[in-house]
Structure 1
Amino acid sequence: MLKQFETHFKALGYSEPTAIQDAVYGPMAGDHNVLGLAPTGSGKTVAFTLPALANLLPGDGIQLIVLEPSQELAIQTSRVMRDWAKLLDLKVAALTGGANVKRQTERLKKRPEIVVGTPGRVLNLVNDRKLKLHLVSMLIIDEADDLLNGDTLATVREIAQAAPADVQLGFFSATDTPILHELDQWFGQTVERIDVREQDQTQGKVRHGMLQVGMGKRDQMLKRLLAIPNFRALVFFKQTNALQHTATKFYHDHVSATSLTSDLRQVQREKALQDFRLGRTRLLLTTDVAARGLDIPKLPAVINYDLPSGVNEYVHRVGRTGRMGEPGQVISLGDDHDLRDLKKLLKETDYDLVPLYFNGRKLTTERPVATVKPEETPTPGTNAGTQTTSKPTAKVDIKSVTVKGQSKSTTKPAAKAQAAGPVTPNPSKKKKHKNRHSKNKGMRKKWRDRDAQQSE
């Protein structure tokens, strides 16, 4: 390692290189093609940055191309590399989709030695002859398991073919996929495989929990989780429509949340990510666009609002927490059926999924016990199964007289009603109603007779 790098390495608070940083430095500095496999949060960006920069010459044009799967990751990587590149007087330019093409073209005119970008934008600039690769000596494909998949594979290969035939290749990933075993066939060069996933010790203790919540109550559960002190979380959705529905609801309810989706402009995406990193917002609602490579220091939790459909997807999501020795919590929401499917999906992994419960403004693994109210002890003289309520009785002076063998009281109406108690109606007596129809009928006959006499 260069002396400038060693000094800066210690200034950043690092005591020693991580497993991946130590394993790939020698081969990459010696012009070997490398595939580096290491867990999320193990320092892969610095691992390929240090040996790659060591072979560059200041002022010699574009010599290094780094491809990233998303705008956020490209910007993050460019910032990390710029921090180290300034030690060697090297310049870094970021070329991402969604940004202003003219501004990016102006940056290329300043002849940077390093270009970090997304494959689509890089290939467009190459085809438009705005970006020339004839001096490129190294091509690094970060998050290779994602970039070498589907249509992106063809784009990456076109970029590699536009570079010189002896260009040095570097592939880095946190998960292994079948295509990573076929790199020799796809790129026509021998690639050295370096896998330190078993030796790496950089990850902190991460607890993986399952919280049983129905789909209709998940927004409410997110609000309840915010009652936990210092709680912040990256919340993953599958579909943008569901994310926007929750984001709109939280906006009207003044919940501390923001969204990060692929349809936002680059400025909006950068602001959302920056606000979340600085703690201005406590929930960042996103899709798998933020599942790869993003470094959010000391992120307490990751929430799977919608459960992942694959093991690699789960690995990259949960890799946002527990980075560089920090503890973390993963909370997967779902009904009983969803959580059973998740356990089946991850049964071949080392993840230990445990049930979680929200009780008393905290998450616990102990099932809450319903409290039963103690039964009231009956008072002496009353039945155990019934409760009697005593009401004060008013003293009433009743003067009774006998009329034809019946007792008749001459009390006041209120006292009489109170003493007599409830009166049961007599079904034999019917209340007489006036027959208004009959009365009107008689009046009409009387009026007709009067009119007849007047007419005579």
Structure 2
Amino acid sequence: MLDVFKEKFAAAGFTELSPIQTAVATPMAEGTSVLGLAPTGSGKTLAFTWPMLESIRVGEGTQAMILAPSQELAMQTTNVVRDWAKLIDAKVLAITGGANVKRQTEKLKKHPEIVVGTPGRMTNMIADGKLKLGHLKLMIVDEADELLTDETLDQIREILDATFAETLQLGFFSATETKILDELPRWFGQKVEKIDVRAIDQTQGVVRHRTMEVGNRNRVDLLKRISRVDRLRALVFFNKMQELQHVSLELRHQHVSYVALTSNQRQVEREKALRLFRQGKVELLLTTDLAARGLDVPELPAVINYQLPKDVTTYIHRSGRTGRMGAEGLVLTLGDDHDIRDFKKMMKSTEYEIKPGYLVDYKIVDTKPAKVKPTLTFDHPSSVEEATNGRHRVEGAGHPDTVKRGAKPSRAVPVKADTFSAPKKHKGHNKHSKKKGMRKKNRDRFSKS
């Protein structure tokens, strides 16, 4: 590691490299193509950033490219790499979809040493002759298990065809392993050294994995209540855009503090949503797996699976957004009894310790609370919870939410617990009695006259 990097590393409060950073340093410095497998939040970005920057020659054109599956991850990586690259006066440019093409083209004329972006925009810029890769020496494929599929795999191979290097050094990094990662030599025509530190990496903090049983009709209300937990900010994951939009409207109607991050938003909107969430100005960030892939939100307290992850790999990447670099975290998975049963069956082969969780007094607890008997009587029993201001509200496994919203309590009369009989009517309270008395009084007065 260069001396300027060591000084910055120490100034940031780090005392030692993470396992993946240690393991890939020598092979990458020697020009070896590598596959780096490490848990989410274990420092993979810096693992390839330092060796890459040490091989850069400032002023000799674009020499390194980093590919990411989303605009957000590309911008996040750009910021990290740029922060270190300025120590050696190297230029870093983000080339992503959704951004202004003319502005990117103008910046390319300054010949940045490193470009970071999404495969689609990269191939377009190459095809238009705006991005030239004659000096490219290294290509990094981040979140490789996601990128090396279908259309993006073809785009990455197109980018390789546009290079002139006989042996381009490659770096593939991922938190999970898929079949294609075992077939890299066949797809890219060169030997790739596999470096897997997942079994020895201990950088992740303590993360609680909990389920909460709730019916579909009451799931939005439960999410609203969870958002009120003290010091809780959460990434809320959805499988379908339609459901995300529906929940977004419901939360807006209920005045819940949230933002949404979706692939069909403009880049300005996406950047604003992330900024507000990272600054702690909103409690919830609604998103999909693709939009949030690889995102780093420092000290994120929680992840909520509003819809069940489709497989174990998806769960690993979702839960990896919390508990990063030693911080504590919480992962909540919501669903009805069938959902929770299917989810536990899917996760049975993993080492995650998944338990029921409960929302009590705006805290997430592991102990199932005892039921509290009501002490007031109401015209509508559904008003009990609202009248007690939620003091005995219990959400979670075995506690479906059956209380209607918006109900107002009527006048209450102290009675014994479990008694919901209406107060008895007293004699003389007939609604016609007053008019009947007035008529009699008038007859008596006229008869006297």
Which category of TM-score, normalised to the shorter sequence, fits these structures? 0.7 to 0.9
Task: Work out whether residues 96 and 121 of structure 1, in 8 Å CA contact, stay in contact via their aligned partners in 2.
Answer: yes
* Distance in 2 between residues matched to 1:373 and 1:39, nearest whole Å: 48
Q: Please report how far the alpha carbon of residue 11 of structure 1 lies from its aligned counterpart in structure 2 after TM superposition.
A: 1.1
Secondary structure (helix, strand or coil) at the match of 1:41 reads coil
Give the 3-state SS of the residue equivalent to 1:289 in structure 2. coil
Amino acid at match of 1:335: D
Q: 1:39-78 residue pairs with structure 2 within 5 A?
A: 39-78=39-78
The answer as to 2:148 corresponding to 1:148 is: yes
Match of 1:420 in 2: none
2:189 aligned with 1:175, yes or no?
no
SS in 1 for 2:290: helix
* Corresponding position of 1:14: 14
Looking at structure 2, the residues matched to 149 and 70 of structure 1 have their Cα atoms a distance apart, in angstroms, of: 14
Per the alignment, residue 122 of structure 1 pairs with 122
Q: Deviations over 1:216-265 (max 9, x none)?
A: 11110111112211111000011111111211222232210010000000
> CA contact under 8 A between 1:71 and 1:96: conserved in structure 2?
yes
1-structure distance, mates of 2:291, 2:6: 31
What letter matches 2:52 in structure 1? A
Deviations 1:353-403 (A, max 9, x none): 1011111221112222123579xxxxxxxxxxxxxx9xx9xxxxxxxxxxx
Per-residue deviation, 1:78: 0.4
Give the corresponding residue for 1:370: 371
Aligned equivalents of 2:322 and 2:72: distance in 1? 17
Q: Which secondary structure does the structure 2 equivalent of 1:130 belong to?
A: coil
Question: Take 1:57 and 1:373, find their aligned partners in 2: how far apart are those partners?
Answer: 74
Aligned pair 1:102/2:114, yes or no? no
| Cα deviation 1:160-188 (Å, max 9, x = unaligned) | 12122311000000001110000000000
Aligned partner of 2:387 in structure 1 is: none
What is residue 79 of structure 1 aligned with on the other side?
A: 79
The letter for the 2-side match of 1:104 is Q
Partner of 2:137: 137
Return the alpha-carbon distance in structure 1 between the equivalents of residues 166 and 305 of structure 2. 43
User: 1:211, 1:357 within 8 Å by CA — same for their partners in 2?
Assistant: yes
CA contact (8 A) 1:206 1:322 kept: yes
Match of 1:325 in 2: 326
Q: Which amino acid aligns with 2:169?
A: Q
- Supply the distance in 1 between the matched residues of 2:286 and 2:196 (Cα, whole angstroms): 32
Give me the TM-score of the superposition, normalised by structure 2.
0.82
Say if 1:302 and 1:321, in contact at 8 Å, map to a contact too.
yes
Output one character per residue of 1:288-343: Cα deviation in whole Å (capped at 9) or x when no partner: 12442111001000000000111111100000000000000000000011011111
Q: Give the direction of change, closer, same or farther, for the CA distance of 1:336–1:88 in structure 2 (3 Å limit).
A: same
> Are the aligned partners of 1:291 and 1:316 in contact in 2 as well (CA < 8 Å)?
no
Counterpart-to-counterpart distance in 2, 1:343 and 1:252 = 33
The answer to which of 28-37 and 352-361 deviates more is: 352-361
Q: Where does residue 38 of structure 1 map in the other structure?
A: 38
Aligned to 1:311: 312
Conserved in 1, the CA contact under 8 Å of 2:73 and 2:295?
A: yes
Aligned residues: 382
**Deviation string for 1:172-211 (max 9, x for gaps)?**
0000111000000000000000000011110000000000
Partner Cα distance (1:230, 1:370) in 2: 27
**Equivalent position of 1:438 in the other structure:** none
Instruction: Give, in whole Å, the separation in 2 of the partners of 1:150 and 1:313.
Output: 18
Instruction: Quote the Cα distance in structure 2 between the aligned partners of 1:248 and 1:103.
Output: 35
**In the superposition, relative to structure 1, how do residues 360 and 106 fare at CA in structure 2: closer, same or farther (>3 Å)?**
same
CA distance in 2 between partners of 1:371 and 1:63 (Å): 67
- Please give the alpha-carbon distance, in whole angstroms, between the structure 1 residues aligned to 2:160 and 2:14: 34
SS of the residue 1:332 aligns to: strand
CA distance in 2, matches of 1:252, 1:217: 15
**TM-score (structure 1 length as normaliser):** 0.81
**Structure 1 residue 132: Cα displacement:** 0.5
| Counterpart secondary structure, 1:294 | coil
Q: What letter matches 1:96 in structure 2?
A: T
Aligned mates of 1:373, 1:60 — CA distance in 2: 76
Identity of aligned residues (%): 56
Cross-structure match for 1:336: 337
CA RMSD across the alignment: 2.0
Measured in 2, the distance between the counterparts of 1:28 and 1:307 equals 38
Unaligned runs of 5+ in 2: 376-422, 427-436, 438-449
- In structure 2, distance between residues paired with 1:231 and 1:239: 24
The CA distance in 2 between the partners of 1:339 and 1:131, in whole Å, is: 49
1:232 correspondence with 2:220: no
Are residues 1:284 and 2:267 paired? no
Q: Which runs of 5+ in 1 are unaligned?
A: 375-388, 393-413, 415-456
The equivalent of 1:352 in structure 2 is 353
User: Does residue 295 of the first structure (1) align with residue 324 of the second (2)?
Assistant: no
SS of alignment partner, residue 239 of structure 2? coil
Q: In structure 1, what residue type is equivalent to 2:72?
A: E
